[in-house]
Structure 1
């Protein structure tokens, strides 16, 4: 099964952290569905909510912050106001200073996923804007590891 086909089959149970979001009238565009720019806004919001609630991120005062260096989204079906959404988050990979997130958007009461996106963040030093040689802070790493998807082990 291709990567796109696998993403289209995502279910809520594939994710560890879920955040509810009520769409707003202003989220719709002239085609009467949520504008694609809103998806990135929501993905950024669920990631930062998780980081603040579970990883000790303190955006205005912390010594590190996550800079998005890559993002993309696959759309499977539309959603529009006044729908309620569930933003589902997991971590697919953690590097020394980087993290790869996968975010899915579901509509409450609807089983099929509406979209799946990917964000890659690099945690940088606030003073220099560059990755810290020691990597991301321990509290960040430990929090992100809690929602890291482990690759299945083969039984040979």
Structure 2
């Protein structure tokens, strides 16, 4: 087994979305249930896509279909924390993109959780992969580490 990587820090992410926790996010153990972390990842990615005009869930001809996910937990999150979801793009392929996210509680500098989503862009009518369009690609590239413009 390899050594565990330390948690990411805020400066590892070029963009943040603020998401308040809810009373119902806590489980019987008094902290956020692990399934909520994935909902926060999904909310951060899709909210950003919609704000940028890159996704209209009801009308877009194509969209990103999640084909792989993962999460590493470092610290507990719980209601009434305010979560700051850091977002970056690690890799862009012909039809796929890997989003990486860090969830930070309140003003914490270290991530409580880190996760990723791999989206494959598919046609709405067939669910067959399609190349990532130039507008999407440019937006994704701006979220890659070392990108000049964010």
TM-score (norm 1): 0.88
Q: Report the CA distance shift for 1:125/1:95 in structure 2 as closer, same or farther (over 3 A).
A: same
1:5 is matched with 5
2:51, 2:3 → 1: CA distance? Answer: 31
2:126 is matched with 128
Q: Give the match's secondary structure for 2:70.
A: strand
Contact 2:98 2:117 in 1 (8 A): yes
1:23 is matched with 21
1:103 is matched with 101
Q: Which runs of 5+ in 2 are unaligned?
A: none
1:142, 1:48 → 2: CA distance? Answer: 16
Contact 2:10 2:110 in 1 (8 A): no
Q: Give the match's secondary structure for 1:142.
A: helix
Kindly tell me the number of residue pairs found equivalent between the two proteins.
Answer: 146
Contact 1:28 1:80 in 2 (8 A): yes
Q: What do the CA deviations read for 1:98-131 (whole angstroms, capped 9, x no partner)?
A: 0011100001122221010011010001111010
Q: Report the CA distance shift for 1:136/1:150 in structure 2 as closer, same or farther (over 3 A).
A: same
Q: Give the match's secondary structure for 1:13.
A: helix
Q: Give the match's secondary structure for 1:89.
A: strand
Report the CA distance between 1:142 and its aligned residue.
Answer: 1.2
Question: Which of 69, 72, 76 does residue 70 from structure 2 map onto?
Answer: 72
Q: C-alpha root-mean-square deviation of aligned residues, in Å?
A: 1.6
2:136 is matched with 140
TM-score (norm 2): 0.92
Deviating runs (4+, > 6 A) in structure 1?
A: none
Q: What do the CA deviations read for 1:51-89 (whole angstroms, capped 9, x no partner)?
A: 112252211111101100000100001011111110000
Q: Which runs of 5+ in 1 are unaligned?
A: 152-156
